[in-house]
Amino acid sequence: MGAGAHRDLAQVSVTFEDVAVFWEEWSLLTETQRHLYHDVMLENLELVVSLAFLCF
């Protein structure tokens, strides 16, 4: 993948529905998968919050 293609991927917007796990899906996850989802979402939140501090 060239540098231009990578840059285009970074410009894609993500909606809540893209990352949300709704009850039907959540109930199908194992305990390990639920913990992984939780950990990934916390890490994403930490990254977004850290970016907010760079803007001020």
In a domain, 19, yes or no: yes
Domain extent for 45? 15-54
In a domain, 4, yes or no: no
In a domain, 46, yes or no: yes
pLDDT for the residue numbered 26: 92
Supply the Cα-derived Rg of the chain in whole angstroms.
Answer: 15
In a domain, 7, yes or no: no
8-40 pLDDT, tens digit per residue, is 556 678 788 887 888 899 999 999 999 999 999
Counting the structural domains of the chain, the total is 1
pTM, two decimal places: 0.61
pLDDT for the residue numbered 9: 57
pLDDT for the residue numbered 38: 94
37-46's contacts with Cβ under 8 Å and 24+ in sequence apart are: 44/19
In a domain, 38, yes or no: yes
* 3-class SS shares of the chain: helix, strand, coil, % to 5: 70, 0, 30
In a domain, 45, yes or no: yes
pLDDT for the residue numbered 30: 97
pLDDT for the residue numbered 6: 54
